[in-house]
Structure 1
């Protein structure tokens, strides 16, 4: 009897020890509200909208201590449409992230799977929309730099260094999974520095034949890229380069931000930025965007935040050129640590060759201006 009790006690202790060396966390975020647009494809509209501040999601992340400073790590993250209960990211179960890897307290972290590229990890948090005081609508026109996560990267291998006195770097390569090694592959590099009130970051991304001939197995799957129906001048590019650098600096309750990003969509085979739904006039060939952003974020109380951002975007394609000016402002009030309500307003004006199209609004304006306002609630668990 005593031997049985000893065995049971030993087994119980082993199970507890094993459990103490591993952890799995279930987490999520739910965001919904209402959006008003003064010109949504030619008509004023009121819409029930979701994922306004951040994309609604749930996920699992965890680690296992393997000893000697080494851990196995993983993350699975689902994205869903709260209003319809449908999967996002092309109907993927874990469309936001799905990766596994090893993390060492001596050598850094190596991960494999569907992941965010370096521009999304390092530079996106520096944009005014990355503060979450403002909604996804405040990001740059057409999400040309992908810091609003229009696409994610499959078949990716990423290495992230340790944090050395605030400096950290990463590099990622994504395979085409094709006999043609150069078709639909991607790579990115980035680095960040954080020291007290200052945060800096810079990154570069290159895609080769993304979404190649409706390819769904390569690094950038066709069903999770820029829309071929609304933006063929981006979706059909032979190569894509995206880059950016910026920083934020906190002065008391205020944080000042500066950001520059750019993108080059090389030799698209279809469409023109300056024709069809998004504008008029000349323009063929490679599409080049440059975005400059200045922002101020202010903490009035631990519960009340506000932000304002101004973005200027210059676009060229062949002989066509155009400009976007966008102002975004918003307030965010926390009812608790996990629940907040928000109110945002956006105004965009373009040059005569382009129609205004605030990011995440359903359709472009039929004129050179567009106004949107969104109110909603976000809850984290």
Structure 2
């Protein structure tokens, strides 16, 4: 009799535990990308260069994505994502443990998602998936990554809201605090963007403001995670729009971005305009090709066409499985009134042209 009572008690406790687990429906997913290869650059400071490189297609990373069902259509969510250099094992983003993303928040099926932490801005959310570099190699991003589509900087101290999906339309808004007493506007950021996807059409638009960025390491845009090619930036404004349209096995793409830097002293400024056209083609289920052409016009202090760049990006990817592919990418940049420098290379050319070839292997898990 005692044994039957004990077994009944154990079954009751076990059932209670299972019911709690079923209600909570918590999950934590480990995921990542490992990407490494070889890069040849025709001209860096007047000499060719051969390098073992990491993260050419996508930056190597590992992350944790978590979700807990709170009931009533509510969920607690979080993401912690670390970036690293495959060739030497060091952490990227200036050694941060979770330098790519680190956020926590609440999500509701009807009202959207609210998160807090180190996050992507509206340009990265709404425009980055549409650029040709997403389907080729990260070197294919626009010169100097002035529109931040290759994550030159991420945003700390941010509060972000993303709406539910309304028939393909989703809006994202973010405000990032400076944390400076008496100087609320110093090193803050705010942005708004929208994405639309339905049938063969995908669209995106975004507007981003950085106010006195990189003035310290504790504000919205830390000084150890920002541009180095321009000094004395007092304000940066990014806006742009783009789209993709699928026609059978082909996808056509167009994008425009405008980035304006106000410099110190106040009379100094630079504006970068990028216009991109692209074509992606699924040759076979395992073989994917892409080509993109980008024109970048720079005006400084009101002088139109101070200098400009033409850049051609081509790519071929062969998928050995759903998780693993090998790739080869070829890029060529021609600059006028400036030296060429393909984004992501370790140095500028000594002339107005630069050629790059990269090959490697990428595995996702």
TM-score by length of 1: 0.92
Q: Counterparts of 2:264 and 2:310 in 1: how far apart (Å)?
A: 25
Equivalent of 1:11 in 10, 13, 17: 13
1:35 aligns with 2:39: yes
Residues 187-206 of structure 1: pairs in structure 2 closer than 5 A: 187-206=190-209
- Aligned counterpart, 2:69: 65
- Aligned counterpart, 2:306: 321
Q: Counterparts of 2:78 and 2:9 in 1: how far apart (Å)?
A: 33
Measured after TM superposition, the shift of residue 290 of structure 1 is: 0.2
Pair 1:23–1:176, CA change in 2 (3 A): same
Greater shift in the superposed pair: 288-297 or 39-48? 39-48
Equivalent of 1:290 in 273, 280, 293: 273
- Aligned counterpart, 2:100: 96
Pair 1:135–1:268, CA change in 2 (3 A): farther
- Aligned counterpart, 1:209: 212
SS of structure 2 residue aligned to 1:39: strand
Q: Counterparts of 2:13 and 2:239 in 1: how far apart (Å)?
A: 54
Equivalent of 1:263 in 240, 259, 275: 259
Measured after TM superposition, the shift of residue 178 of structure 1 is: 1.4
- Aligned counterpart, 2:340: 356
Residues 194-343 of structure 1: pairs in structure 2 closer than 5 A: 194-212=197-215, 215-227=216-228, 231=229, 233=230, 235-268=231-264, 285-318=268-301, 319=303, 321-343=306-328
- Aligned counterpart, 2:187: 184
SS of structure 1 residue aligned to 2:84: strand
Equivalent of 1:147 in 138, 146, 149: 149
Deviations 1:88-110 (A, max 9, x none): 10110000000000000110000
Q: Counterparts of 2:21 and 2:83 in 1: how far apart (Å)?
A: 29
Q: Counterparts of 2:50 and 2:152 in 1: how far apart (Å)?
A: 24
- Aligned counterpart, 1:273: none
SS of structure 2 residue aligned to 1:106: coil
- Aligned counterpart, 1:45: 49
Deviations 1:106-156 (A, max 9, x none): 10000110000010010111001112xx10000100001110000000000
1:106 aligns with 2:110: yes
Measured after TM superposition, the shift of residue 349 of structure 1 is: 0.2
Measured after TM superposition, the shift of residue 18 of structure 1 is: 4.0
Measured after TM superposition, the shift of residue 3 of structure 1 is: 3.6
Measured after TM superposition, the shift of residue 7 of structure 1 is: 3.4
TM-score by length of 2: 0.96
Contact 1:64 1:72 in 2 (8 A): yes
Contact 1:31 1:53 in 2 (8 A): yes
Equivalent of 1:135 in 120, 137, 154: 137
Q: Counterparts of 1:110 and 1:12 in 2: how far apart (Å)?
A: 35
Q: Counterparts of 1:368 and 1:68 in 2: how far apart (Å)?
A: 60
1:378 aligns with 2:345: no
- Aligned counterpart, 2:81: 77
Deviations 1:320-364 (A, max 9, x none): 70010000001000000000000000000010x211000000000
Measured after TM superposition, the shift of residue 5 of structure 1 is: 2.7
SS of structure 2 residue aligned to 1:81: coil
Q: Counterparts of 1:36 and 1:223 in 2: how far apart (Å)?
A: 28
Q: Counterparts of 2:274 and 2:74 in 1: how far apart (Å)?
A: 41
SS of structure 2 residue aligned to 1:13: helix
Pair 1:369–1:69, CA change in 2 (3 A): same
- Structure 1's consecutive aligned runs of 4 or more residues displaced over 4 angstroms after TM superposition are none
